[in-house]
Amino acid sequence: MSVGDEMKLVFRLGRLGFALGVNDLVEIREDFLGFLDPSSEKTSPLQLGSLPHRGDNIPVYDLKELFGLTGSGAGQALLVVTAASEPWAVVADRIEGIFPGSEFESQPLSLVLSSGMTRPYDTLDIWRGEPLVLCETGKLQTCWEWE
Amino acid sequence: MIPKIALFSFCQRLYALPVEVVLHILSSPRVFPLPLLPSGVEGVFLFKGEAIPLADPFLEGGRPAGEQGEGFVVVCGTENGLLGLKAEQVLQIVDREQGSLEKIDVLEDIRWADLRFVHRDREYPVLNLENLVASLPDNIIKDPETRSVPAGSRRLG
């Protein structure tokens, strides 16, 4: 297990908790639904549409679909992240907040679960007694390109 | 040679484990769901700061929550790390000589049990945890509507 220095955003999809390093986070928007264009050209089946962002159109991806989560409810917040130079966005159901890296203890997903399978995550962050899925933008980027 | 055998029940079914794989028995730890888990794996629980997968010993996912029963978690050691198995009752620990171990020749409903322990006219499949863990990638939960494997999971190889 390791404790990092980087502050992390904690968000939820349904009741599941996720963590994202703020170094990869560009912006959090709550007013995005009216701006999301679902009819735009999609480069991945996981793409919900595109969104104007700082003079450009960026793809918005469906994290719930990627993680096999069903359940209704439009997301309440849009997280704009950047991997390499191209920003993209995902939708979260709820934002818990941004917390110091010292509150998180990272550990690899148990080999019992990871042996023989590949998933869009392989690390958990233990935060306040709760295991969170650590979202690594490079790994997610690979998933968008996979599809 | 198995010197002692621990006997459990879960959902009105019986199972057994060699005592040397049993490290701890916990009473109903808090379980946290995670995405893209195999069917029969309910989530993880924290044990000494480590997130340990919790499995139904028969890997029968989809059972309504009300039928799962509260009870115990048997923390077991496997080659790939710790694994929790659900148990409603911890029946007893018996010497191997108090019953008979029989090889299961044909595939029965628990394909990760290759032995059964017969004790006082009751049969307990002896779970082979390495086989159980090896079967997990075959048990990835499929979307109930499309029957497709979620986009984020892939079996290696």
Categorize the per-residue pLDDT at A146 as very low, low, confident or very high, splitting at 50, 70 and 90. low
**DSSP-assigned letter for residue B32:** B
Give the pTM.
0.86
Closest partner residue to B35 (CB to CB) among A16, A45, A46 is A16
Q: What is the pLDDT of residue B9?
A: 93
Q: How far A86 CA lies from chain B's nearest CA (Å)?
A: 21
Instruction: Report ipTM (2 d.p.).
Output: 0.88
Q: Which residue, among B80, B136, B89, has the nearest Cα to B112 in the 3D structure?
A: B136
Distance CA B119, CA B128 (A): 18
Residues 6+ apart with CB under 8 A from B83: A110, A112, B52, B53, B55, B75, B76, B77, B129, B132, B133
Q: How far B115 CA lies from chain A's nearest CA (Å)?
A: 22
Q: How far A16 CA lies from chain B's nearest CA (Å)?
A: 7
- A80-89, A116-125, B58-67, range with the lowest pLDDT: B58-67
Q: What is the pLDDT of residue B39?
A: 83
Q: What is the pLDDT of residue B108?
A: 61
Chain B nearest-CA residue for A45? B151
Look at residue B13 and tell me whether its pLDDT is greater than 70.
Answer: yes
Distance CA B105, CA A147 (A): 43
Alpha helices for B36-137 (secondary structure H): 129-135
Look at residue B146 and tell me whether its pLDDT is greater than 60.
Answer: no
Query: Looking at residues B110-124, what average pLDDT do you find?
Result: 89
Q: What is the pLDDT of residue B150?
A: 61
Take residue A89 and report the two structure tokens written for it: 């966005």
Contacts of A109 in chain B (CB under 8 A): 51
Count H helices and E strands in chain B, helices first. 1, 12
Closest partner residue to A126 (CB to CB) among B51, B134, B140 is B51
Q: What is the mean pLDDT of chain B?
A: 83
